Amino acid sequence: MMSKAIYERFYRSLYRIRRVEEEIARIYPSDKIKSPVHLSIGQEAVSVGVCEALRPDDVVFGTYRSHAYYLAKGGDLKKMLAELYGKATGCAKGKGGSMHLIDAAHGVMGASAVVGTTIPNAVGYAYALRLQRKDSVVVSFFGDGATDEGVFYESLNFAALKQLPIIFICENNFYAIHTHLLSRHKDANLCGRVRAYGIPAEQIDNNDILKINERVKGVVDLLRAKQGGPFFFECLTYRWKEHVGPNDDFHLGYRSYEEARTWVEGDQVRRLAALIAPQSRERIETQVEEEIRAAIVCAEDEPFPEAQELLTDVTGD
């Protein structure tokens, strides 16, 4: 049984991500956000469950669906929103956008628009951490789509061969854009495939934030104690919004609202809200709303990058 304080932490993080993305969806039609957004609404529990098991000096790599893990790991909200607005004060000075969020100081090491691409980067980072005799760990977030890519299997193999301090988190939301996992694989037993590489693998159902956190915490401790590695978790979850953009897409016909209903009813934001005292909830929500409001005002007021930024940071000299 976890303490109330931990539930409050989880709730704050979940609620904050949900509300940031709802605000992004609200602002998006105004065309002030100059970046395609891949919203994590519905999937926040995976990011929060995992990142709440990590230390600040642990490192995460992720995907273009980047907002949830960026915020869950401690990425700066003001810099994130400024980045989405294309502002000079953005986390990548307006040169990365929503699909390439980074906050190196908080262990958020970047993301790729090309599916599966950051998986080997995370593996290499883990190799370096061990060579440097550090006890930090790396988490590689990716979707089920990335498990279609060859580089995923190459990366698993090398991580297993070298027993690296890395946790692979597959956020299985069942769809690569609009194509279901079962239309892409004859055998959808992902954990079985991963175990064939000599990596312990576990599926966690129902978007269950508490179970995700507990399991990840367990393997983080093992990794820090140099007992085994890597580990793999397949977290079943569900994207509520369209693949890219702020809207629903049930009208497209590739999935039904009936399919979504169980996931919406199992919403982890609501679940955690019910686990904490009403006055705590109100306090958290008020604080979060104020923080988001201030960050949006900030992003709107900040300047765009100056012309000389066009050719800055192409190379180091």
Of 19, 34, 95, 283, the one binding another protein (CB under 8 A) is: 95
Of 128, 182, 277, 297, the one binding another protein (CB under 8 A) is: 128
Which residue, 159 or 292, has its beta carbon nearer to another protein?
Answer: 159
CB of 275 to another protein, least distance (A): 36
CB of 71 to another protein, least distance (A): 17
Dihedral of the alpha carbons of 150, 154, 160, 164, in degrees to the nearest 10: -110
CB of 93 to another protein, least distance (A): 4
Return the range that interacts with another protein (CB under 8 A); candidates 38-46, 66-74, 149-157, 186-194.
149-157
Dihedral of the alpha carbons of 43, 181, 151, 167, in degrees to the nearest 10: 40
Which residue, 187 or 317, has its beta carbon nearer to another protein?
Answer: 317
Which residue, 78 or 215, has its beta carbon nearer to another protein?
Answer: 78
CB of 100 to another protein, least distance (A): 5
296 binds another protein (CB under 8 A): no
126 binds another protein (CB under 8 A): yes
Burial class (CB in 10 A: 0-12, 13-18, 19+), 127: middle
Of 42, 62, 86, 94, the one binding another protein (CB under 8 A) is: 94
The sign of the CA dihedral 229, 72, 284, 23 is negative
109 binds another protein (CB under 8 A): yes
92 binds another protein (CB under 8 A): yes
Of 112, 147, 172, 173, the one binding another protein (CB under 8 A) is: 112
Between residue 229 and residue 248, which ones bind another protein under the rule CB under 8 A? none
Q: Measure the CA–CA gap between 48 and 171, rounded to whole angstroms.
A: 12
3 binds another protein (CB under 8 A): no
CB of 123 to another protein, least distance (A): 5
314 binds another protein (CB under 8 A): yes
154 binds another protein (CB under 8 A): yes
Return the range that interacts with another protein (CB under 8 A); candidates 117-125, 196-204, 209-217, 256-264.
117-125
Q: Tell me the site size for another protein, rule CB under 8 A.
A: 45
In Å, how far are 164, 238, 240, 246 from 255, measured between CA atoms? 38, 12, 11, 17
Of 36, 158, 191, 280, the one binding another protein (CB under 8 A) is: 158
Q: Which two tokens stand for residue 144?
A: 């089920």
169 forms bridges with which residues in the sheet? 141, 233
Return the range that interacts with another protein (CB under 8 A); candidates 49-57, 86-94, 264-272, 284-292.
86-94
Which residues contact another protein (rule: CB under 8 A)? 59, 61, 90-96, 100, 102-104, 109-110, 112, 114, 117-129, 131-132, 150-151, 154-155, 157-158, 161, 312-317
